[in-house]
């Protein structure tokens, strides 16, 4: 059974999308391939309308103006991120560096032992887990 549906919007050569053509999607029930194909058809129609508008209905100077606007907005966004980092560093100059070595982690409410720092591992740069040898 076919379980993969291409998501390329403009590459329609192998999908029988010529005028008045018919194609059949063979998919396993409950896998969402049919729904994905419907969404791909909607996206393809949107892409065709957008391409038609850009190529035939808009003036080239309007396109250049809009591209320039998007580029300027992206530049402003990058500058804001950089300034935010600089401001954060300026507002938090006393931020403690990471403590090197083994230390004990305790519950803030009851002060009971929780873990040793050497037992903490980072998975996929975001998840923290404690390895317990018990």
pTM strictly above 0.85: no
Q: Is 130 left (phi over 0), alpha (psi -120 to 50) or beta?
A: beta
pLDDT value at residue 16: 53
* Region of residue 125 (phi > 0: left; psi between -120 and 50: alpha; otherwise: beta): left
- CA 26 to chain CA centroid, Å, is 29
Longest dimension (CA), the chain: 74
Average pLDDT of the chain, as a whole number: 77
Does 133 or 108 have the greater pLDDT score? Answer: 108
* Mean local confidence (pLDDT), 96-123: 81
Q: Residues 8-58: pLDDT tens digits?
A: 333 444 455 667 777 777 777 777 788 888 888 899 889 988 888 877 887
């Amino acid at each position: 059974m076919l379980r993969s549906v291409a998501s390329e919007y403009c590459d329609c050569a192998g999908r029988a999308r010529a005028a008045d053509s018919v194609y059949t999607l063979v998919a396993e029930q409950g896998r969402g391939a049919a729904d994905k194909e419907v969404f791909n058809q909607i996206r393809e129609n949107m892409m065709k309308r957008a391409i038609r508008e850009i190529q035939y209905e808009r003036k080239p100077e309007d396109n250049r103006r809009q591209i320039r606007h998007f580029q300027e907005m992206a530049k402003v966004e990058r500058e804001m991120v950089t300034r935010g980092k600089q401001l954060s560093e300026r507002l938090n100059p006393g931020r403690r560096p990471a403590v090197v070595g083994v230390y004990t982690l305790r519950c803030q409410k009851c002060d009971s032992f929780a873990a040793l720092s050497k037992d903490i591992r980072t998975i996929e740069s975001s998840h923290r887990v404690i390895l317990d040898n018990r």
